[in-house]
Amino acid sequence: MEKIDIKKQYQTLYSGHVGKFIVFDLQDLTYFSVDGAGDPNAVPEYAAAVEALYAASYTLKFMSKETLKRDYVVPPLEGLWWADDMADFTARRKDRWRWRMMILVPDFIGETMAKEAITRAHEKKRLPALSKVRFVHLEEGKVVQTLHIGSYDDEGPILKKLHDEFLPAKGFVEAGHHHEIYLSDPRKSPVERMKTILRQPVRSAA
């Protein structure tokens, strides 16, 4: 049985160049997601959310393999990040952050099967956070994207360049939450080598 690599199927979604911005129109996608708030390094809800997302995603993977005869590599973790006052976000006051952590659901899997996977994972794992997992559609439209290598806390300069220089120069304004895709596992990769896709939905300023 062929194993589908989602990162290769949607190559543009998971690629970028350090210091360079690409602009493209993103198709609507579906995700497992969990919403929360607070410093991801401090609040237990964050780790619980990530654990629940992976539990649901791997349950869905095995259901797809058994029922649809289609196996695939579980996509990487993603996150939408924002703050009620965006100054708290840029100043890294993480205790005031809000987030939505997500894992992509392949386009060949429908909502019914995805929701059944959440139920089955809950029955097997008994993780309280699984009750917060939702199947959601994300419509970001036109986005600007780049690749960051290094610590998450070192994203500031490239994000400042994006918002203060690139977007105004191209006639864009923000049209959605800051989006990150984690290509590296922080438990296994040295901080200086971690790869993160940084994405910003935009619209014309006109």
pLDDT(204) > 80? yes
String of DSSP letters for 127-182: -GGGGG-EEEEE--EEEEEEEEES-GGG-HHHHHHIIIIIHHHHTEEE-S-EEEEE
pLDDT at 99: 96
Instruction: State the average pLDDT over residues 83-100.
Output: 80
Per-residue pLDDT at 94: 85
Residue 134 C-beta-side C-alpha neighbours within 13 Å? 10
pLDDT band per the 50, 70, 90 thresholds, residue 83: confident
Q: Report which of residues 94 and 172 the model is more confident about.
A: 172
Burial class (CB in 10 A: 0-12, 13-18, 19+), 38: middle
The C-alpha angle with vertex 42 and arms to 97 and 147, in degrees rounded to 5, equals 60
Nearest to 130 by CA among 77, 46, 37, 53: 53
| Residue 1, pLDDT above cutoff 80 | no
Whether this model's pTM surpasses 0.75: yes
Looking at the chain, the whole-number percentage of residues with pLDDT higher than 70 is: 98
The model's pLDDT over 121-180, given as tens digits with 9 standing for 90+, comes to 999 999 999 999 999 999 999 999 999 999 988 888 999 899 999 999 999 999 999 999
Question: Would you give the distance in Å from CA 139 to the centre of its chain?
Answer: 13
